[in-house]
Amino acid sequence: RVDTGEELRFTTNFLWMCQGYYRHDQGYTPEWPDMEKFKGEIVHPQTWPEDLDYKGKRVIVIGSGATAATLVPAIAGDCEHVTLLQRSPTYFIPGRNENELADRLRQLQIDESWIHEITRKEILHNQDEFTRRSFEEPEAVRKELLDAVKLFLPEDFVEKHFTPKYRPWRQRIAFVPDGDIFQGIASGKASVETDEIERFTEKGILLKSGKELEADIIITATGFHLSVLGDIEFSKDGEPIDFADTVTYRGMMFTGVPNMVWVFGYFRASWTLRVDLMGDFVCRLLNHMGSHQAKSVTVEIPEKDKDMKLLPWIDPENFNPGYLMRSMHLLPKRGDKYEWQHTQDYWREKDELPAIDLDGDEFVYA
């Protein structure tokens, strides 16, 4: 127990790991030179102080992802000025914060349950189509994304500050409701610097270009630490388990580890879509074990797949955000056959996971 230090022991027949995938107690902040010299306050959004007063203050937000894009317009109205400082740009999707199809169906007085099902299917279809196009016609998708930002900001500004070097969907793409961050920049309440940090100073940050940014508060929206299975030290029969030595079965079970499923969702679609599919799978698996009077189930690579190539958890050419790249050495391996990897493909898995043959060679019951 955290409050008393008392050690408690629980026993279970089956372990379902649903703890998420990042460490909740501490965000990721790089170690920049001379951070201790800064006279102001340094804050990570994950541990935001309740008493932080940024009204009338000069604020620097370091980062280029969804947190930074959400934070800047949220505080810009109260700050003297807020500067978004990024090492490299990311892609954004500005759009209206509403669903036109749902609104139109409501005007037609369609039943709400129908509206939910239709709009849900359309959103999922559009996400899948966008992902497919980002691989098959990346330049066209890139142009569409940048053209949307150019509706708010000058072309040369977009070229300098909002044109990433990588193809779309190698990292997450943030939705910007009504282009709020771009409107804040256009109004002058916010500004952008694309540069690298040389070091911190008493007054703020010195950039490698030689420019110094002064600030009262520096917010490091620089990501999080990946938590692999809750950072728990697992052991089997007294021997520690190193998950990096295991191979994942569909991103949810691991070779040699009995009676455990790890909930890991999607990056390019709603996380909970996969949680839903896995909930059904776990129920089916437990019922199958019960009907066969099995106490244990473990996945193992069958003989026909023994010679398959083992690879990192995810292909960095496919998806490579910093939090994954920093922790790849902690994650299980994937095989080059799709059953032995987390495909990130909802449209495939929604049909395949319910059809998994629980008597297949990869399942070992005891």
Residue 2 has pLDDT above 80, yes or no: no
**Nearest Cα residue to 183 out of 111, 276, 121, 97:** 97
Give, for 214, the enclosing helix (H) or strand (E).
Answer: strand 212-214
pLDDT averaged over every residue in the chain? 93
- The model's pTM is 0.86
Q: Give the span between the Cα atoms of 274 and 115, in whole angstroms.
A: 22
Instruction: Give residue-wise pLDDT tens across range 107-130.
Output: 999 999 999 999 999 999 999 999
Q: Give the span between the Cα atoms of 129 and 29, in whole angstroms.
A: 35
Low-confidence winner among 4-8, 189-193, 208-212, 356-360 (lowest mean pLDDT): 4-8
Q: What is the pLDDT of residue 344?
A: 86
Give, for 43, the enclosing helix (H) or strand (E).
Answer: strand 41-43
Dihedrals φ, ψ of 333, to 5°? -80, 160
Q: What are the chain's domains?
A: 15-21+228-365 (no CATH), 29-222 (3.50.50.60)
Residue 248 near residue 333 (C-beta atoms within 8 A): yes
Q: Give the span between the Cα atoms of 319 and 303, in whole angstroms.
A: 30
Instruction: Give residue-wise pLDDT tens across range 246-263.
Output: 999 999 999 999 999 999
Give me 155's structure tokens.
Answer: 């072309």
The 8-class DSSP code of residue 172 comes to -
